[in-house]
Amino acid sequence: MSTTTTQSSEAKTTTRELALSVQNLTTSFRSDRGLVTAVSNVSFDLFKGEALGLVGESGCGKSVTSKSLMRLLPEHVTRYGSDSKVMLGSDNVMKYSNREMRKIRGNRIAMIFQEPMTALNPVFTIGWQLDEALRHHTKLNRADRRKRVVELLDMVEIPNPDKRYGEYPHQLSGGMRQRVVIAMALACEPEILIADEPTTALDVTIQAQILRLMNDLRERTGTAILLITHDLGVVAQTCDRVVVMYAGQVVEQASVGDLFHNPSHPYTRALLQSIPRSGKKEKGKRLATIDGIVPSLLDMPKACRFAERCDCRQPQCDVEMPELVNFSGDRSVRCHFPVHK
Amino acid sequence: MTNSSSDSRALRKFLRHKPAVVASFIIAAYAVVAMLLLFTNMITMDDTLQRVGPETIPGFSSVQNPEKRLEDAEWLLDRIDTLAGREDPRAALDSFRDLGVRHVAEIPIEDLQQRVEEGWEIYDRLAEVEDLTAAVNGTLNSPDAPTGEVVLADLQQLELKLDELLAPMTAKEKSTRWFEMLFGTDRQGRSIFYRSVYSIRVAVLVGLITGLLSVTIGTIAGLLSGYFGGWVDNLITWLYSTFASIPNIVLLILLAFMFDGGHIDEPLNRWTGGLLKWLIGGRLDETLIPVYIAFTATFWIGPCRVIRGETLKIRELEYVQAATVMGFGRTRILLRHILPNVTYLMLINFSLLFIGAIKSEVILSFLGLGVKKGPSWGIMISQSKVEVINGFFWQIGTATVLMFFLVLAFNVLSDALQDVLDPKHV
Amino acid sequence: MSFVEVNNLVKHFPIRGGILNRVIAQVQAVSDVSLRIEKGETLGVIGESGCGKSTLGKTMIRLIEPTSGDVRFDGVEITGLSHAELMPIRQRMQFIFQDPYSSLNPRMTAQQMLAEVIRFHDVVPAKETDKYIEELLETVQLRKDSKNRYPHEFSGGQRQRLNIARALAVKPDFIIADEPVSALDVSVQAQILNLLMDLREKFGLTIMFISHDLKVVEHFCDRMVVMYLGTIVERLSCDDIYNQAQHPYTKALLKSNPINDPDDRETLYILEGEVPSPSNPPPGCPFVTRCDIAEERCKSERPPLVQLGDEHQIACWAVTHPANASTSSDAL
């Protein structure tokens, strides 16, 4: 029982080396109704050692974005934009062959998913599965691998790591399993960790543990984290900068403090307002909501995609698609009439 | 979004699957033929039993070897000769049916016998040659052997003579004859074309009735055992485990044997006051009852297992729990909420069972236990055993090809159905 | 006498094992839970996974049969009734399920589903069914023409509205809502919560709101009970839970919730350890394995619920230890 001592966002702006740069990522799927574009012109940078939050509601394209980075989408139906680039160092990952992708997956970029239940193979012990990752990507011998696995289990704060080596996934609780998954992801000391809703399936008390763990690990190993979630609270607790997505596009980018205290895009602001607030209750008060629903992927407006739900809608919004404009330091917004500038 | 039931969306998805559409047309074609066979007299049973020509004639009027031609000529000469020598030659010749639609020529008996004599002359000449094929090929080492050209010319002449013995065909007769001889004849001179097409009737009947019965019984059993659990589940599971432990073929043979000769279904029919025969008889062919029963008893297991599994899954879903909370009785839940969600499985299973039935019929008929009356693909394949040894593949080939396309079409269809109807892909 | 009473409800699930499939252990999902809900009140039931809150709700509505204990609805004891006798009660007590994706029959349109329910209970005369369905759809803010749509044509939020419409169709007095907004996006959650608030006012509903999300429960409910490993550890009013909560678990829950203030990261409280298995709970207080103020007594003796304040009860030795003499452990 301890309190977490993560540093606040300000202290992290010292050295900024680029870990990953996503430029103009567009991902479309071939379906029997034609080409459906799930992600349009998404660009953002991920710096070494930072935690970047990718936030949005279901259907906004955040999962598709993360899977595109790892090229995990089904090949024969996925089409990427011609100028889509994902720069890992000086290489464009989009141009990698399957073989090259396999070399970097788990090795330079690792990914963890939402369901710890299905991320682990139920018929192998967790020790074996961690060992597999090392076998695949490193040249360590058996004894060294075993040592490393125990080290990893210890790093993710699993008690009795020696004993746990031989246990099966079903013998562990959800929180424990997610720790194992994190250990697997970090086994080869990747530069980047993509975490797709890693705590959504966990209880709130366990979630707090896992988030603290991820923060600690990030400080120790310098791995950059791309944290994908729909939970703004999680973002507030862990991230340095935030990218907000809506209907397949990036609508706002800012440091976490700026985003929460002075949101720029009407959608971000509305989202923050619709969360019930802790503290003294105002009985019977209705929550602020956003009217309407997300437009269907098959029927996207040609202009601003949020216009029909926006409470500061103007005629220009229905005519012209706003560009993502960088208006100060780290802040960008895609809006003709941003709330804060 | 347009108002679309999941059915119409499934249909559209299906139509985009080209092989499946082709398969459906093929199946429809077979179905149409089966309907025609059942309800019109396009091809009758007699057509399949009647001789239309000499034995084992190849289809598509392919050329036969000289020995065979001589044999066939001898056969025909002999037949007509014998008939002409009867007490009432006119009557005897009129009753000649051994060549399908072809009749003996309406000429005076004396002329007929004259021609027969001439035919025999040529025949005797040819019969003296030791090895006709070698002669034709020019490899015969015999001093007084005639040359290949002479042999062939003789054969042709012989066949012309035979043709003169027969009445010329009308246009209609010509087209009928074309069909009769299209795939040749079997060892008893019967039209392979008629036999193999007529077998579609049996195949469709067996497939349809067995499929419907098995799926119905299997679904009911599966629903009951999956939903109610307890002793009902234990009973049904025990039943199908037991049945499934017996090798399919053994079970089929056993049941077919039991029901063979009407030991069981005859008394059963009597007890039910003729109900069984009325239901299944006539068009649906009561001689196939042993087959229907044997197959259904073997095949109900498949759908039962599958439907039971799905029912167990659906039973735990929240909309079924919601129905319980609403106070709906178990019957209503079973029929209104669970059954409609397993119909896609019933459809897929039906198409698979259809194929299983056709293939099993072949096996049973091979062993003499299946279809009793009339031809079926299994019987044709069984009878062609000897023919194949002698290099004659027309009967087995035709039966197999016709069966192959039907089975292939159903396989493609059931695969497409699985893709299209799987609710997870909605 | 309260509108809804739950007295010492227990639900154990047998675990079978061994060659003869004997019962080798029991999952103690709900252990001796008692509740009172007054008419028009909204009670929140909060807890994390495995605490038994869903089982509690389903047992109350007799979707699951209790092992012991009873449930009273409007004075009538419903746990002993046969299913036929239960019918009129079913109309007055309804349930909203959690998963919008599996709680609607994929092969029935909205119209068919609602009509079935309405006709079964004869809520309105047959001729008026269609009109009533349209009214219901409007009430839950769905378009009238959506009645011919199938569930897969609706979004998650819309499906949940349909769920609510189904529950409302029989004009119930009491609704148990099992995590009705947990599977929804934040903005949709807000819409549905507002809708539930409107409906609650309009129809004077009594609601039991089960959730794992403290913020939501605090916002929506009048009072709440906190469950841990099948028992209630604290009962309090939702007015000022931040300051009122006393039980270490409740406090941990409050402080584990990520707050939307990035400057406030230091206050995140990490509750170490894991929930013990419900088939093998600790003999004393269930929270003893993770509690930082546990005493010797807590390991062996289960603390009873003790009255702390007006609407406040707590089960914790450390809090109620000698200074507070125990009083009644039941009714609020």
- Asked if C315 contacts C285 with a C-beta cutoff of 8 angstroms, the reply is yes
Average pLDDT over residues B24-37: 91
How high is the pLDDT of residue A279?
59
The edge-to-edge listing of strands for the beta sheet with C312-314 is C93-96, C174-178, C206-211, C42-46, C223-228, C231-237, C312-314, C306-309
- Cα–Cα nearest to B21, from B418, B415, B413: B413
Residue B424 has pLDDT above 70, yes or no: no
Q: Hey, is the C-beta of C170 within 8 angstroms of any chain A C-beta?
A: no
pLDDT of residue B276: 62
Residue B61 is assigned to a structural domain of this protein: no
Helix (H, G, I), strand (E, B) or coil at C6: strand
Q: Is the pLDDT of residue B172 over 60?
A: yes
Residue A186, classed as helix, strand or coil, is helix
What six digits make up the tokens of B348?
């897929």
Q: Which of C54, C107, C160, C175 to mutate to test the interface with B (most CBs of B within 10 A)?
A: C107
Confirm or reject contact between C55 and chain B (CB < 8 A). no
Segment A301-335, tens digit of pLDDT: 888 999 888 888 889 888 889 988 888 888 999 99
Chain C residues with beta carbon closer than 8 angstroms to that of A6: 265
Residue B386 lies in a domain: yes
Inter-residue contact B123 to B73 (CB < 8 Å): yes
Q: Are residues B254 and B341 in the same domain?
A: yes
Question: Which residues, listed in sequence order, are joined to residue C33 by a DSSP beta bridge?
Answer: C9
Q: Find, in chain B, the residue whose alpha carbon is nearest to that of C175.
A: B325
C90 shares contact with chain B (CB less than 8 Å): yes
Q: How far apart, in Å, are the Cα atoms of B348 and each of B15, B214, B336, B411, B416?
A: 17, 13, 20, 10, 9
Q: C228 pLDDT exceeds 70?
A: yes
- A297: nearest CA partner in chain B: B1
Contacts of A32 in chain B (CB under 8 A): 13, 16
* Domain count for chain B: 2
* CB spacing of A296 vs B16 below 8 angstroms: no
pLDDT in the model for residue A3:
39
B57 in a structural domain = no
Indicate the pLDDT class of residue B261, thresholds 50, 70 and 90: low
Same domain, B144 and B22: no
Answer whether B321 sits within 8 Å of C97, measured CB to CB. yes
Pick A3 or A94 by higher pLDDT: A94
CA A251 to chain centroid? 16
Task: Give the model confidence (pLDDT) of B102-137 as tens digits.
Answer: 888 888 888 888 888 888 888 888 888 877 777 777
CATH of the domain at B374: 1.10.3720.10
Q: Note whether B34 and B106 are same-domain residues.
A: no
Q: Do B362 and B247 fall into the same domain?
A: yes
A272-281, B86-95, B210-219, B318-327: least confident range: A272-281
Contact assessment for residue B358 and residue B399, using Cβ atoms and an 8 Å cutoff = no
Same domain, residue pair B35 and B88: no
Q: Which of B324, B328, B341 sits opposite C63 (nearest CB)?
A: B324
Question: Which residues on chain A are in Cβ contact (under 8 Å) with B420?
Answer: none
pLDDT at C324: 41
Same domain, B13 and B83: no
pLDDT tens per residue across span C14-48:
888 777 777 888 889 999 999 999 999 999 999 98
**In the complex, which subunits touch C with 3 or more CB pairs below 8 angstroms?**
A, B
Banded pLDDT at B419 (limits 50, 70, 90): confident
Residue A226 to residues A47, A87, A194, Cα–Cα distance (Å): 10, 15, 5
Does the pLDDT of residue B425 top 80, yes or no?
no
> Does the ipTM exceed 0.95?
no
Tell me the domains of chain C and their CATH numbers.
Answer: 4-243+312-317 (3.40.50.300)
DSSP states along A221-274: H--EEEEEES-HHHHHHH-SEEEEEETTEEEEEEEHHHHHHS--SHHHHHHHHT
pLDDT band at A4 (very low <50, low <70, confident <90, very high): very low
Same domain, B263 and B390: yes
Round the average pLDDT of chain A to a whole number and report it: 86
> Letter for the amino acid at C37?
I
Give the residue from chain B lying closest to A295, CA to CA. Answer: B1
Q: Which of C94, C103, C152 is facing B6, going by the closest CB pair?
A: C152
Average pLDDT over every residue of B173-195: 87
**Band of the pLDDT at B279, cuts 50, 70, 90?**
low
- Check if the beta carbon of residue A255 is closer than 8 Å to that of residue A328: no
Distance CA A277, CA C219 (A): 8
The whole-number pLDDT of residue C71 equals 94
Which residue does chain A place closest to C51, by CA atoms? A203
On whether both B359 and B291 belong to a single domain, the answer is: yes
Shared-domain flag, residues B141 and B264: no
**B341 is a domain residue:** yes
Chain A residues in contact with C271 (beta carbon < 8 A):
1, 205, 208-209
Residue B426 is nearest to which of C95, C116, C152, comparing CB atoms?
C152
Min distance C295 CA to chain B CA atoms (Å): 43
- Assigned domain for B46 exists: no
pLDDT at B238 over 90: yes
Indicate whether A49 pLDDT > 60. Answer: yes
Identify the domain boundary among B137, B172, B207. Answer: B172
B327: contact with C, CB 8 A cutoff: yes
Rounded mean pLDDT, A216-234: 90
Query: Are B152 and B223 in the same domain?
Result: no
Question: What pLDDT digit, counting tens, does each position of A102-124 carry?
Answer: 888 888 899 998 887 788 898 99
Instruction: Give pLDDT, residue C329.
Output: 43
Stated pTM of the model: 0.82
Q: What is the mean pLDDT of chain B?
A: 84
Predicted local confidence at residue B284, as pLDDT:
67
Residue at B359 is within a domain: yes
Look at residue B181 and tell me if it is in a domain.
no
Nearest alpha-carbon partner for A341 in A267, A271, A275, A258: A258
The domain of B249 spans: 2-41+193-425
At A231, the amino acid letter reads D
Contact flag B325-C94 (C-beta cutoff 8 Å): yes
pLDDT in tens, B62-93: 778 888 888 888 888 888 888 888 888 888 88
Residues B32 and B147 reside in one and the same domain: no
pLDDT at position A23 is 93
Q: Are B88 and B236 part of one and the same domain?
A: no
Residue B339 lies in a domain: yes
Per the CB < 8 A criterion, the answer to whether C46 and C226 are in contact is yes
C61 reaches B (C-beta below 8 A): yes
List chains touching B (3+ CB pairs under 8 A): A, C
